[in-house]
Chain A
Amino acid sequence: MPLLTTVGRKSPRARLLVAAFYVLLTLGGLTMVYPFLIMISGAMKGVYNGKQMDICPRYLYDDMELYRAYCESRYANTTNYNNTSDRPSPDFDSLDPRPLQPRLAEEFRAFLREQPPAPEERLLGHFTMARGNGRHDLGFISYLSDTYGGDVARMNRELGTQFNNWSINLVQESVFFARITSIESNLLRKFFEYRAAQATEDFYEPTADAWFRGSMIFSRYGDDTALLREKLGITATHTGLISLDAPETGNAEYRSLREIFMRRFLNARFIRLELTPEVRRVWRDFLRANFKGSLQALRDVYPAATDFDSLEAPASLPREKRQAVLYASFIEKECPFAALRVEDIQTRFRDRLIAKHGSLEGINRSLGLAARDLSELMIPRGTLDWEYTQAHKGSLRWYLTTRNFEYVFSYIFAHGRAAWVTLTFCTLSILCSLVVNPLAAYALSRFALPSTYKVLLFLMTTMAFPGAVTQIPSFLLLKDLGLLNTFWALVLPGLANGYSIFILKGFFDSLPKELYESASLDGASEFRLFWTLTMNLSKPILALISLNAFTAAYGAFMYALLICQDESMWTIMVYLYQLQGISSQNIIYASLIIAAIPTFVIFVTCQKVILRGIVVPSEK
C-alpha cells in the first residue's frame, strides 16, 4: 500500500513528491527502454549502416540510403560490388548511382532477355554464406531442407557431405574466378539447381573490366581519377570507365598491368583466342614441349589427335579438365598477347549495341550518352540497381527491416532440434519443479513427522557450500553415469532444492488446518488433499515457481553447454550464444529480441498471478 494515506495524498507537498516520483521513474524507465530501442533499430540494420546510431533506420525514409542498403544486401561486400559495378566505391556509405543512364539500362534488360548469360557467368545476389542473412542464404538452405525432407543425414548421404546441421557454407565467388570446368561438388551442383529457379534481377554479372580495375589498378594506385590519369597515362574521365577492351590506351606500365592481368589472373573462360597462323604455330610448339614430343602422352589428353601438327588450337576454354589446364597455361606463358580477346557479358553487350545502333555515334544519339569510345560503354549497374530500388521501395524496406529476424528464425530452424530440445528441457524443468519440491514440502508440513527438522537440516545443510565445490564432482558424476549429453544431465542435478522445499513448507504451514480436517472427515483421499486442496490453494506460488523454472531452463547456457557439449543437445540459448561468435552485431541484436519474446509474453500475461505468488517472509 502507498505510504501516503488517502488524506495525506492531497497536500501540495505530497503531490510534489508523487510528481517527482513520476519524473524519476520515467527517467529511469528511459534507461531501461533505451537499450531495447538500440537493439530493435540495430536489428533492422546491416553492417555499413550499423554504426549510424539513429533509432529509426535511415533507409526507411531516405531513398539514397535505401539504395545503399539494398546494394549491401545484394553484394554483401564492396569487393563483390566493385567487381560488377560501373561506379566503383571503397565503401557503401558513399555509393551514388548518378548520373543515371535509363535508356542504356533499358537496352541491357532487353539484352538479358534475348541472350541470357551462362550460369557460371553470373552470381546470385543476396547470397553471403559468410554473413548468412541474405535472402538466398536462407532460400538455399530451405531448398536443401525441402529436397531432403528436413533430414540432414539424408542430405549427407546423397551429397557425400558431412554436415552436422543446416548451417552450410558455400562460397560462390570462386566458381566465377577459378578455372574449374566441371563441378565436382554435389552441393555446388545443388546450388546451381537452386539458382536456376531464381529471378533474373537477383543475379549480377561480374565483368572482366571491373575485376581488372579492382584487383590491378585500385589496389596499386588508389581510386583517384586524376592521379590514375597522371600515373598510368589513361584518358578515362572516371574510374568506372577503365576497360580492358581499349588496348591502345595507357602508358607502358598500364599496358603491362593489363597483360599480366589477362594472362595470369583473368579466368581463361573469359578469353577467346584469335587463331592466326602464328598462334597455331606457337600452340603446336607449346604442345610438343609440354608432352616432350610423345604422341602417346598427347593422345592421353586429346584422344582424337593423330599427330602434333594436325591438332587445332582451341579458340576458347575446352570443357575437358586437362585440356582446360593446358589452354590456361598456354595463355599464361606462350600465346602472343595480341591474340587474346576478352569475351564476357560486357563485351557481348557492346557487340549488341553496335549491331543495333550501327556505330558509336548512333548509340550516343539514341541512348543519350557521350561515350568517346566503345570501351566506355559499361553495363549501367548503378542505374539498374537504382531503378530496381525505386520500383520496389515498399517491399525492399520490409525486406531490409525483417531480414535479420528472418535469418535468426531460420538459424533456429536450421538447428531444428534446438527448439525441440529447449521445449523439452523447459517442460521437464517445470514439471520437476512442480512435483519433487512440493511433494517433499507437503510431507513435511502435513504430517507432524518426529524427524521434520532432521530432514530439513539434511536438505538444507549443503547450502553452506558454494556451487563451485560440488560443480566439478557432480560434473564427473554425470560423466561416470554416462548422463552427459542427455536430458537427465540437464534436469536431474537441480531436481530438488532444499531452500524451495523450506519456503514451500512454510507456505503450506500457513494454510488453514481446519480445511484439512473437514476434508478428511468428508472422506477425501490423501491425493485429493494434496492435489485439490493444497496445490489448488497454492496456485499463484506454483505459477511463480514454474515461471522461475522456465526462465532458468530457457536462459541456461553455460552449464547446459558444459554438460551437453554434443551439438544435438544444444538449446536455443546455446546456439544463440554460438551465433555471437560468427555474426555481425545486427544479427545478434535480432537474436536477442527473438529470444526475449517468450519470456516477455509470459510476464505481461501472467504478471498479476506472479505478483500474488510472491512469498514474503516475515518474523514470527
Chain B
Amino acid sequence: MHYGARFKKYRGLLFALKALLAPLIFLCLAGKLGAADNVVSGVDENGVVHVRVWNLPTNPGTQANHVANWRVLKAFERENPTIKLHPATGISLPGLGIVMDVGPLMAISGGIAPDILYVNFRKSASYIDDEFLYPLDEYLEDYRRREGEKEFEFRIQKPLWPVIRRKGPVGNHREEHTWMMPEFPLVMTMSYRKDLFTKCGLDPNRPPRTWDELYEVCVKLTSNEKNTFGIFLGTGGAASWYFMNFLSSTGTKVVSEDANGVWHATFATPGAAQALRFHKKLIAGKRPDGSGRGFYTDKYQLIGEGRVGIQFVYLDGNDFAGLDTSGTQWGYAPVPMGPTGKFSAEINAKMWGIYRGQKDARVRAAAWKWLEFSGSRMARKIFADTLIEYNEVKSVHPAILENLGPDYQKYLVFMNQDLKDLYAIATEHATPEPYGKNCDLVYDYLDKPVQEAMGLEREGKFAGMSERQELDVLEGILKKSQDLAEVELIQNLPPEVQASRARVAFAVCVLIFSAFAFVFVRIYRVFTPEHERGRGWGFRKYRFAYLILVPAVGSIALWQYYPLMRGSLMAFQNYKIAVPVVEWVGLDNFAAVIYDRSFWTSILLSLYYTLLLVLLTWLPPVILAIMISELPKGTIFYRVVYYLPAVISGAVIIFLWKSFYDPSPMGLFNQLLAGIEDGVNRLRASVGMGPVDLSPQYWYEDKNLAMLCIVVPLGWATLGPGSLIYIAALKGIPDDLYEAADIDGASYFSKVIHIVIPKLRALLIISLVGHVIHGFNAADNVLVMTGGGPKDATLVTGLLIFKKAFVYTKYGVATAMAWIMSVMLIGFTIYQLKILSRLEFKSTGKA
C-alpha cells in the first residue's frame, strides 16, 4: 500500500512532467522550424557586410529606368565586393495613410528597421526628433573632400539644405547635424491623357492652364457611361496631399517659421479658401448632366486603364522614366494657375538616412557607401547611358544631362518640349513641401477642412450661396482647423497653462489609480466566498495541482501582468524605440491626452459605435434563435445558411462590404439603389405620381453613414454564429414550462417574455456587457473600413491609440490614453465578473 501510494505519486509527477514538456518541446521545434531565414544586417564570417536597404530593386525589370537602377546596383557590387545590399520592404495597411510614410515606421516599430531609411520632407522632423537617424556630417565632409566642391554642390542642391541640416536631439541635448542625403529634387506637375482628351472632344495639345479651364476639362472628361473621370485625387486620408497642389498655387504656405524659429500653421488664408472652394467643386460638385456628383476618382488602377484624364505626378530623373514621355499618350504641363495668376509647383526630394538603431559602425559605413554611390557621377552616367540605349533619353532630367558634359548635352534636343518648359517654370516658382516640426500631422489637420468642405458640398449645403458667402464659410472652416493645429501641434503653451495642466493631470492620475485599487478590492470580495478567506495555500499538499497550474499562471503573469506594469511606467515616459534612452516626462503624457480634443471626440465616437453595435448585434441573434427553434423542418439548413458569414474571417467581411459600398455609381449598393429607384418611380408613374430621387450614396465616405457602414457588416456576420448559443440554451428550457403556459392561455409573445427571457437572463446580460467592452476596444474593423475617416468621423479610441502608437510611435501618449479609457470601462468589467461568479456552466449536450 505504502509502495503503491508512492508509485502513484510518482506517476502523477511523471504525467505532469509529460504534460508540461510535450507542448514546450513542440513549441521549441516549431520555433526552430519557423525561424525566418531572413537577412540580418551585420558582418558575416567572410567579412562581407550585409546592409538592408529600403526598396532596393529586386530584379533588372525590362523598363529602361528599372534596368538603369539595376545596373547602378550591379556596378556598386562590382566596386564593393565586400558589401552585400539586401532589399527591405515594409507592410502596408490601407487606411493608415500613405505607404511610404507608414511603411518605414511600422518596420521600425516591428523591429525590422532597414539600415537605410527612406525619409520624406513631411516626416523628416519626427524622424530626427525620434532619433531614428544617424548624423551624416563626417561622411559628408569626407565626400566633399574627395569629390570636390563642384560635384558636392550639384549632388545636394541648394534649396534642400535647410531640410537636411537642422537641430535634433543627440543624447540629452540638441545639436545641428546633417541627417539625410537627398536625391535630385522632384517637381510636382500635371500630366494629362491626350487620347482621352481627344475622345472627349478636347484639344489634346492644349492642357488646362487655369483652374477654370481645369474644371471645364474635368466636366467634359467625366462620364458614367464610359466610366471615365476627369482627375485623380485622393480622398480618405490622402485628400489634403492632393489639395496641396491647389493650395500652393495660391501662394499659401501650410506652415511657416516665425522670427524665433517657431513653426505656425498658416493655412487659413483667403487664397486657401479659394483653393478649397475649387477642390470641393472637383470632388463633389454637381455634374451638369445630372449623373451624380464629382469629377474625380481615387482608384489608382483606373489611371493605368486610361480612364482618368489628369493626374498630378512628381517629375524626376528616375520616376518619370516609368511614365510615358513620348508625348503621344501623356502630355505634361504645370499645375494650373490659381486666381492669383501664379504657377506653382511643389518641390520635393526623396531623402535617405542611416538608421541610428544600427549599432555596427561597419554596417553604417557600408550603408553610407551605397548612399554616396547611388547618386554619384558614375551612377548618373550609367543611368543616362541606359536610357539612351533604350531610346528614352527624353526621360533623363535635363540638369543631369547638362552636368554630364558635352557628350550628353547633345541629347537635350530630344527633351519633350512640355517638360523643358516645365522645369523652367518649376525652378522659378517651386515651394518646398512642408518639413517643419509635426508637419506630417499638418496633413491630418489640413485633411479636416478638406473633408468638411467635401461633405458640405455633397449634402448640397452650398446651393444658393454667393461666391463671397461660400468663401467666408470655407475660410471659417480653415480657421477652425488652423487654430486646432496651432494648439495641438505646436503646443507652445505659457508656463502657467502648463502648470494648471499638470495639476489636472495629477488629479486624473490619482483618480485612475485609486479607481483601479478600488476595483481590485471589489473583485477580490466578489470572488472570494466568506468561508474561503484566510485559508493558506497548501503548496506541499497540492504540489501536483500547483505544478499543472504553472503554465497558465506563468503565461498570464508574463503576458498580462508584466505588460501592465511596464505600460503604467511607459505612460510617464517619452518612449523612443530606436534608442535606449529613458526620458521621464512626469505627467506630460496624461496632460497631453486630457487636453487632446481628438481623444475626447474619439471617446464619444466609441460610445456611438458601441451603441450601434449593441443595437445590431445583441438581440437579433436571440430572435433568430427563437425562430429557428420553432421550425418543424429545415433547422439544419437555416442554421448553415445563417452561419455562412462566419466562414469568412473577421476583417475579410469588412473588405467584402467595403467593395459593396463602393461610393461610385458602379458600386453594388448604388446599383441596387438605382434599381430600386427605377422600380419605385415606375410604380409611382403608373399611379400618376412624381419620381423620387435616391441619388447614389457615399456610404463609408459620408460622415453620417460611415459608422453605420462599419457596424452593419458586423451585425450581418454575427447574426448566425451568435444565435448558436441561444439555440443551445433554448433546448435547455423544459417543455413543461411551455405546456403550463399553454394551459394558462398565454400568447406566443408572452411566452417569450415570461419564460424565455428570464431563462436566458444571465446569458443576455453577459453578452450585453461583453458587447459594450468589445465595442469600446474596437479598432480593426474601423481601420479596415475607413481608417478613421471621413474627417475623423470614425476615429474611435481604440483606433486612435493604435495609430498613436504604431504610426506616430508615440507609445507613451498611447499608453496614457489606454489607461484613461480603461477607467471608463472598469464598472462594466466588475459587473461582468460579478455575474460570472454566480453562474454555473453546463453544456446542454444535445444537438
Closest 10 CB pairs of A and B: A555-B649, A506-B841, A440-B552, A473-B563, A219-B195, A527-B15, A450-B535, A565-B110, A496-B552, A496-B555
Cβ B198 vs Cβ A222 within 8 A = yes
Contact A613 to B627, CB < 8 A, known contacts A220-B198, A468-B818: no
Stretch binding the partner chain, chosen from A174-182, A352-360, A389-397: A174-182
Contact A162 to B649, CB < 8 A, known contacts A21-B631, A457-B523: no
Cβ B538 vs Cβ A449 within 8 A = yes
Stretch binding the partner chain, chosen from A101-109, A379-387, A430-438: A430-438
Cβ B738 vs Cβ A5 within 8 A = yes
Q: Which of B35, B329, B548, B763 contacts A616 (CB 8 A)?
A: B763
Query: For the complex, is B204 an interface residue (Cβ under 8 Å from A)?
Result: yes
Bound: A443/B524 CA distance, A: 20
| Residues 198 to 222 of chain A near chain B (Cβ within 8 Å) | 215-216, 218-222
Closest to A569 in B: B36
Cβ B822 vs Cβ A222 within 8 A = no
| Residues 708 to 752 of chain B near chain A (Cβ within 8 Å) | 716, 719-720, 724-725, 727-735, 738-739, 742, 748, 751-752
Q: Which of A91, A436, A460 contacts B23 (CB 8 A)?
A: A436
Closest to B766 in A: A617
Cβ A3 vs Cβ B629 within 8 A = yes
Cβ B31 vs Cβ A29 within 8 A = no
Closest to B38 in A: A566
Question: Nearest-CB distance from A333 to chain B (Å)?
Answer: 9
Cβ A616 vs Cβ B110 within 8 A = no
**What string of 1s and 0s marks CB contacts (under 8 Å) between A103-131 and chain B?**
00000000000000000000000000010
Task: List residues of chain A with CB within 8 A of the CB of B629.
Answer: 1-3
Question: Nearest-CB distance from A445 to chain B (Å)?
Answer: 10
Contact A32 to B644, CB < 8 A, known contacts A1-B731, A440-B549: yes
Task: List residues of chain B with CB within 8 A of the CB of A408.
Answer: none
Considering residues A216, A492, A614, which has the most beta carbons from chain B within 10 angstroms of its beta carbon? A614
Stretch binding the partner chain, chosen from A34-42, A339-347, A363-371: A34-42
Cβ B841 vs Cβ A495 within 8 A = no
Query: For the complex, is B220 an interface residue (Cβ under 8 Å from A)?
Result: no
Considering residues B91, B201, B527, B739, which has the most beta carbons from chain A within 10 angstroms of its beta carbon? B91
Cβ B826 vs Cβ A617 within 8 A = no
Q: Which of A22, A563, A566 contacts B36 (CB 8 A)?
A: A566
Task: List residues of chain A with CB within 8 A of the CB of B278.
Answer: none
Cβ A620 vs Cβ B842 within 8 A = no
Bound: A446/B826 CA distance, A: 32
Contact A39 to B562, CB < 8 A, known contacts A506-B841, A616-B729: no
Query: For the complex, is B845 an interface residue (Cβ under 8 Å from A)?
Result: yes
Q: What would 15 more interface pairs be, CB under 8 Å, given A492-B555, A507-B841, A558-B780?
A: A39-B656, A215-B326, A442-B548, A443-B544, A447-B544, A450-B535, A457-B527, A472-B818, A485-B112, A486-B31, A496-B553, A507-B842, A566-B112, A580-B655, A611-B724
Bound: A584/B89 CA distance, A: 22
Cβ B649 vs Cβ A451 within 8 A = no
Question: Nearest-CB distance from A591 to chain B (Å)?
Answer: 9
Task: List residues of chain B with CB within 8 A of the CB of A562.
Answer: 106, 109-110, 806
Can you list 24 residue pairs at the A/B interface with Cβ under 8 Å?
A7-B742, A32-B644, A51-B666, A77-B305, A185-B60, A321-B389, A436-B552, A451-B536, A457-B527, A464-B830, A486-B34, A487-B31, A502-B836, A507-B843, A525-B12, A526-B12, A562-B109, A568-B36, A588-B655, A599-B646, A603-B640, A607-B639, A609-B847, A611-B847
Cβ B843 vs Cβ A615 within 8 A = yes
Cβ A477 vs Cβ B562 within 8 A = yes
Cβ B58 vs Cβ A162 within 8 A = yes
Contact A469 to B822, CB < 8 A, known contacts A476-B566, A561-B91, A612-B843: yes
Query: For the complex, is A439 an interface residue (Cβ under 8 Å from B)?
Result: yes
Stretch binding the partner chain, chosen from B61-69, B236-244, B455-463: B61-69
Bound: A578/B103 CA distance, A: 13
Query: For the complex, is B3 an interface residue (Cβ under 8 Å from A)?
Result: no
Question: Nearest-CB distance from B780 to chain A (Å)?
Answer: 5
Contact A466 to B552, CB < 8 A, known contacts A162-B58, A439-B19, A617-B839: no
| Residues 4 to 27 of chain B near chain A (Cβ within 8 Å) | 8, 11-12, 15, 18-19, 22-23, 26-27
Cβ A614 vs Cβ B728 within 8 A = yes
Query: For the complex, is B214 an interface residue (Cβ under 8 Å from A)?
Result: no
Q: Which of B19, B529, B638, B639 contacts A435 (CB 8 A)?
A: B19
Query: For the complex, is B289 an interface residue (Cβ under 8 Å from A)?
Result: no
Bound: A185/B627 CA distance, A: 65
Bound: A468/B798 CA distance, A: 7
Cβ B829 vs Cβ A458 within 8 A = no
Chain A interface SS verdict (over half): helix
Cβ B735 vs Cβ A462 within 8 A = no
Count the B residues whose beta carbon is within 8 Å of the partner chain — how many? 195
Stretch binding the partner chain, chosen from A165-173, A239-247, A275-283: A165-173
Cβ B552 vs Cβ A439 within 8 A = yes
Cβ A2 vs Cβ B19 within 8 A = no
Question: Nearest-CB distance from A146 to chain B (Å)?
Answer: 19
Closest to B533 in A: A453
Cβ B647 vs Cβ A599 within 8 A = yes
Task: List residues of chain B with CB within 8 A of the CB of A446.
Answer: 545
Question: Nearest-CB distance from B730 to chain A (Å)?
Answer: 7
| Residues 585 to 620 of chain A near chain B (Cβ within 8 Å) | 585, 588, 592, 595-597, 599-600, 603-604, 607-620
Task: List residues of chain A with CB within 8 A of the CB of B638.
Answer: 25, 29
Question: Nearest-CB distance from A154 to chain B (Å)?
Answer: 13
Closest to B623 in A: A24
Query: For the complex, is A28 an interface residue (Cβ under 8 Å from B)?
Result: yes
Contact A451 to B538, CB < 8 A, known contacts A526-B11, A614-B844: yes
Query: For the complex, is A540 an interface residue (Cβ under 8 Å from B)?
Result: yes
**What string of 1s and 0s marks CB contacts (under 8 Å) between B309-337 and chain A?**
00000000000000000101100000000
Task: List residues of chain A with CB within 8 A of the CB of B74.
Answer: 160
Bound: A265/B325 CA distance, A: 11
Q: Which of B328, B560, B720, B738 contacts A215 (CB 8 A)?
A: B328
Query: For the complex, is A293 an interface residue (Cβ under 8 Å from B)?
Result: no
Cβ B204 vs Cβ A220 within 8 A = yes
Bound: A30/B204 CA distance, A: 50
Bound: A17/B629 CA distance, A: 13
Query: For the complex, is B776 an interface residue (Cβ under 8 Å from A)?
Result: yes
Query: For the complex, is A541 an interface residue (Cβ under 8 Å from B)?
Result: yes
Considering residues A458, A503, A554, which has the most beta carbons from chain B within 10 angstroms of its beta carbon? A458
Question: Nearest-CB distance from B710 to chain A (Å)?
Answer: 15
Question: Nearest-CB distance from B415 to chain A (Å)?
Answer: 13
Query: For the complex, is A187 an interface residue (Cβ under 8 Å from B)?
Result: yes
Closest to A502 in B: B836
Task: List residues of chain B with CB within 8 A of the CB of A474.
Answer: 559, 562-563
Bound: A22/B631 CA distance, A: 8
Query: For the complex, is A470 an interface residue (Cβ under 8 Å from B)?
Result: yes
Cβ B58 vs Cβ A325 within 8 A = no
Cβ A488 vs Cβ B843 within 8 A = no
Cβ A215 vs Cβ B329 within 8 A = yes
Q: Which of B532, B538, B651, B847 contacts A577 (CB 8 A)?
A: B651
Query: For the complex, is A8 an interface residue (Cβ under 8 Å from B)?
Result: yes
Query: For the complex, is B564 an interface residue (Cβ under 8 Å from A)?
Result: yes
**What string of 1s and 0s marks CB contacts (under 8 Å) between A550-586 and chain B?**
0100110110011101111100010011101100110
Closest to A221 in B: B198
Task: List residues of chain B with CB within 8 A of the CB of A467.
Answer: 777
Query: For the complex, is A61 an interface residue (Cβ under 8 Å from B)?
Result: no
Task: List residues of chain A with CB within 8 A of the CB of B22.
Answer: 435
Q: Which of A184, A491, A619 contacts B839 (CB 8 A)?
A: A619
Contact A164 to B58, CB < 8 A, known contacts A179-B390, A179-B391, A486-B35: yes
Bound: A160/B61 CA distance, A: 12
Question: Nearest-CB distance from B195 to chain A (Å)?
Answer: 4
Q: Which of B34, B59, B650, B773 contacts A169 (CB 8 A)?
A: B59
Considering residues B226, B632, B652, B752, which has the most beta carbons from chain A within 10 angstroms of its beta carbon? B652
Q: Which of B63, B551, B841 contacts A439 (CB 8 A)?
A: B551
| Residues 415 to 439 of chain A near chain B (Cβ within 8 Å) | 421, 424, 428, 431-432, 435-437, 439
